[in-house]
Amino acid sequence: MEVFSQEFSVSTRKQMEIIDVTRGVENAVASSGIKEGLCIIHTPHATAAIIVNEGEEGLIYDITKKIEALFPVAEEYRHNRVDDNAHAHLASAFLGSSKVFPIKNSRILRGTWQNILLVELDGPRTRRVVVTVVGER
């Protein structure tokens, strides 16, 4: 059994943005040499999230709009007395900052439309994405 970890950064350009990081994650898993096991994709930030879904342009727009509808920027939040990004913290808390997948035959076991998406909620910023793989070579 082995543990392998690799990270990469993503520079976001907007306040809110969804970026497909599937290729970076798959490169890290390939570099691990691990054939069977588990993999976590984690972003160590309280105003970003990792979700899994199709990267189709229209859907990315729909996800963005749904997040804005459920966690509106303009609501009255107590956290905004000390900062101005409560909506981003709330969306991160609900969506989660990591996702876990099985590794099978040296690849992430994911469905055809299951892309790995970094959700920027308080950009633009540079965001870290950490990929940690545990399993058998």
Residues that bind a second copy (CB under 8 A): 1-3, 5, 36-38, 40, 42-47, 51-54, 56-59, 61-63, 66, 70-71, 77-83, 86, 89-90, 92-104, 109-114, 117, 130, 132, 134-136
Q: How far is the CB of 13 from a second copy (least distance, A)?
A: 20
Q: How far is the CB of 12 from a second copy (least distance, A)?
A: 15
- Here the tokens at position 24 are 């970076």
**Residue with Cβ nearer a second copy (23 or 79):** 79
Cβ neighbour number for residue 119 with a 10 Å cutoff: 26
Nearest to 16 by CA among 70, 79, 76: 70
**Residue with Cβ nearer a second copy (15 or 97):** 97
Q: How far is the CB of 18 from a second copy (least distance, A)?
A: 10
**Residue with Cβ nearer a second copy (29 or 90):** 90
Q: E strand or H helix at 69, and its extent?
A: helix 57-70
Q: How far is the CB of 73 from a second copy (least distance, A)?
A: 13
Do the bridges between strand 107-108 and strand 98-104 make them parallel or antiparallel, or are there none, so unpaired?
antiparallel
What is the distance between the alpha carbons of residues 59 and 16, in angstroms, rounded to a whole number?
15
> How much helix, strand and coil, in percent to the nearest 5, is found in the chain?
30, 40, 35
